[in-house]
Chains A and B, each alone.
Chain A
Amino acid sequence: MSNARLRLAFEAVPGVVETREAYAETTLVVDPARLVEACTHLRDEEGFNLLSDIAATDYFGWGEPGVAGYIGTAAGRDLHEPGSQGLAQVPAPKPKRFSVSYHLLRVGDDPARVRVQVWLDEGEAVATLVPVWPAADWFEREAWDMVGVRFEGHPNLVRILMPDDWEGHPLRKDYPLGGEPVRFSGED
């Protein structure tokens, strides 16, 4: 796997807004409107024939200095407050609230991995990749169920992991962890 050849190949992908390389991984940030074009190019011209994963991430509250640890109240730990992170150094801000990362793999004589990333705001949708790789079906359903990112043109965008009548998208940062407060035996 020669990195120079890969880099040249990635320059030819349509719709790429930014290319990042870190930890020996390449991330191609793609304009959401041209995602299907970019992925079709990667599949047909570059031979990335296996869609490994689709991961949707919510960056709400990224970089905000918050309280480290859990939120304590007079009645004990409050599990229904959204979680926050304690930070020593505020990280660089992200362009939009949600990112959807598509991890692609080339199964063949010249193995390679690449991450295609799109950034979306609340309410924005991105085209479905089911026509390109049928494996995207359930991965996109999971992203919709957990984070609430809509995929335009998906043939069956319904909940997959949560019950069908669940409200809310659990992996969003403003969705509480839930659960029950733990009662200890010495309390009244």
Chain B
Amino acid sequence: MSIVSSRYDIARFGMERFSSSPRQADLLIVSGRVTHKMAPAIRQVYDQMLEPKWVIAMGACASSGGMFNNYTILQGVDKILAVDIHVPGCPPRPEALIEGIVRLHEKIRAGIPPAYEIRGVAE
């Protein structure tokens, strides 16, 4: 949330418009831990996004389950979505997330297709 604030200011990179609807979004940032109960909801949001779409798994818990290796936390959101960038940290600093977004921009400019084209998405 701090990246939107005036100190870290993600608007410098053109990313200040947080869309309320997944249908109008290009990037899904999964921040924080994902439970098994929440996973279908996130998958539904992801499916509602129109291609091309990118996913950033923000934080250790979204990337891999983090410090929670138990019955309720999905061990990495890349089990249900195709993730382009994993941002480590618990919690990740705003600068780390900005770095992740900037690297995603570089990836796209370099012509690398979105993750679902490379890795495929589980049905």
A/B: CB atoms within 8 Å of each other: yes
Interface of chain A: mostly helix, strand, loop or mixed: loop
With contacts A179-B65, A180-B65 taken as known, whether A170 is within 8 angstroms of B71 at the C-beta atoms is yes
A-B contact count (CB 8 A): 26
> Of A162, A163, A177, A182, which is within 8 A of B70 by CB?
A177
Query: Given A162-B72, A177-B69, 14 other A-B contacts at CB below 8 A?
Result: A162-B37, A163-B37, A170-B71, A170-B72, A177-B70, A177-B71, A178-B70, A178-B71, A178-B72, A179-B68, A179-B75, A180-B65, A180-B69, A180-B75
Asked if B103 CB lies within 8 Å of chain A CBs, one says no
Q: How distant is A70 from chain B, measured CB to nearest CB, in Å?
A: 11
Interface of chain B: mostly helix, strand, loop or mixed: loop
Residues A167-188 near B (CB distance < 8 A): 170, 175-180, 182
User: Which residues of B approach A to under 8 Å, CB–CB?
Assistant: 36-37, 65, 68-73, 75
Q: With a CB–CB cut-off of 8 A, which chain B residues contact A79?
A: 69
User: Which residues of A approach B to under 8 Å, CB–CB?
Assistant: 79, 162-163, 170, 175-180, 182
Q: Is the CB of B69 within 8 A of A179?
A: yes
Q: With a CB–CB cut-off of 8 A, which chain B residues contact A170?
A: 71-72
Q: How distant is B70 from chain A, measured CB to nearest CB, in Å?
A: 5
Q: How distant is B86 from chain A, measured CB to nearest CB, in Å?
A: 16
In angstroms, Cα B45 to Cα A22, docked, is: 51
Q: With a CB–CB cut-off of 8 A, which chain A residues contact B73?
A: 179
A-B contact pairs, 26 of them (CB 8 A): A79-B69, A162-B37, A162-B72, A163-B36, A163-B37, A170-B71, A170-B72, A175-B71, A176-B71, A177-B69, A177-B70, A177-B71, A178-B70, A178-B71, A178-B72, A179-B65, A179-B68, A179-B69, A179-B70, A179-B71, A179-B73, A179-B75, A180-B65, A180-B69, A180-B75, A182-B69
In angstroms, Cα B41 to Cα A163, docked, is: 12
